[in-house]
Amino acid sequence: MTEGSRGRQLLLAALKSALKISWQTRFGLMRGHRRRALIAREARLSCERLGPAFIKLGQLASVRPDVFAPETVFELEQLQDRVAAVSADSIRAEIRRELGADPDALFADFEDEAIAAGSVAQVHRAKLRRAYRPVIGPELAAGTPVAIKVLRPGIEALIAADLAVARRWAERLNRWRRLARWRPAALMDEFSGMLGRELDLRNEGRIADRFGQDFADDRFVIVPRVVWRHTTRRVLVSEYVEGWRLSEIGEAERAGIDARTLAAHGAEVFMRQVLVLGYFHADLHPANLFVTPQGQLCFLDFGIVGRTSSAQREAIAQVLIGLVYGDADRALRYSRELGLEVTAEREDTVRREMAGLVKRHLLDPPRADVRSFALGFLSMLADQRITIPAGYGLLVKALVTVEGVSHAIYPDLDLMESARPFATRLIAAQLMGRDRLRRRLPAAGRRALEVLLA
């Protein structure tokens, strides 16, 4: 298919979706949450119809509550990225081209049938033919099972062609005054860069090794180790780890897995990433996490990662403390340090609304409902036309995702209750930190003298 015909095909599909949305929303007469929810659903279906580039763009959009309506963000996280596998001969040819030898020469027991197939890559199972010393942990012996992730043949060219069309659309949208404030062209460039990095599987391998190293002392966490000897831009080989998907957690419990402990620990792992390590898995969904027979959480697919600075980590901890203890004023005050700008005329409304959301969704129910709180909070900011900072929106979205994953493991887990001890310990450590004491002691000394001399 030529670029021109593909462009016309995409434009026709987009126009059909626009007409369908117009009809469903009564040509703009429908307003509020219901209208946004209908638009979000059609956006998801359109991404799935348009193919791999748009599925990936939708997945990237799902971690940007600072740009897209909360209904759209939460709907796009349901994007289905499962397609028919390409032939084993094509995958073998890709491996030969990348690694310089046939899979049967490099691996033992290479399986032609894919164990997972997405729009961008598919995964095959094999065994190491020779022992390998990974970056962390003990040697992987010959015969160790491995997962071989291979980009689909021609996927880069297909995505580049679709991105070129999407970029032209974005540049045209830039000319519309009502849409220009979202900077569609700049956002498209940002997404293109992120997608380009995701198409280089070495980036995923580096993050996986870092994550594995940072949690090497955690007996409840495992990350498949990368076999760099057989890894290139288009092929990623890593240790194969057996386990149950979160949809099979009942089977894991029957085998003796303590689901409640594992769910609570998973929440703490996330908080450690955000508040201590300064980076976090930003695409954590049930397909990227499973439970091993040893009672560990196995993390996969580090294509999208969020990052937090030292100053952000201190402010995030204070926001979290405000939420877990029901102190909406504290949460809002430290949200400003994360870039949330609330004008004076809207401050009372936002404070009142936030306090109501905290009480309604985090304090009053028998179990905190972080998702409903986040959806209500982000919707309220959108209604008040308050810009949501990029990092702040990503963090709120990630917290909701962690709650969803935790509930998939143990449905009765209260995320706020689980977060309270960790957040309290962290705040105590921050208060006694050397840099904080150095900044605060002079002012504290002056106040003490004022009291003594009064």
Q: Residue 84 has what DSSP assignment? A: P
Contacts 24+ apart (CB under 8 A), 426-431: 426/271, 426/275, 426/276, 426/317, 427/317, 427/318, 427/321, 430/314, 430/317
Q: Find where tokens 């917290």 sit.
A: 399
Query: What does the alpha-carbon distance between residue 366 and residue 362 come to, in Å, rounded to a whole number?
Result: 9
What type of residue sits at position 344?
A
Residue ranges in 221-309 assigned as alpha helix (H): 249-254, 259-272
Query: What does the alpha-carbon distance between residue 6 and residue 257 come to, in Å, rounded to a whole number?
Result: 50
Q: Coil, helix or strand for 14?
A: helix
Q: Find where tokens 């404030």 sit.
A: 181
Is residue 297 within 8 Å of 447, Cβ to Cβ? no
Distances (CA, A) of 333 to 147, 242, 276, 370: 46, 45, 21, 19
Question: Within the chain, what is the greatest distance between any pair of CA atoms?
Answer: 86
Residue 91 tokens, joined: 């995958």
Q: In this structure, are strands 289-291 and 244-245 parallel, antiparallel, or unpaired?
A: antiparallel
Of 61, 90, 80, the residue nearest 151 (C-alpha):
90
Is residue 208 within 8 Å of 134, Cβ to Cβ? no
User: At 447, phi and psi to the nearest 5?
Assistant: -65, -40
Helical (H) or strand (E) element with 147: strand 145-151
**Dihedral angle over CA of 278, 283, 287, 291, nearest 10:** 20
Query: What does the alpha-carbon distance between residue 163 and residue 175 come to, in Å, rounded to a whole number?
Result: 19
Q: What angle separates helix 390-409 from helix 415-431, to the nearest 10 degrees?
A: 130
Q: In this structure, are strands 221-222 and 297-299 parallel, antiparallel, or unpaired?
A: parallel
Q: Which residues are catalytic?
A: 283
Of 407, 416, 137, the residue nearest 262 (C-alpha):
407
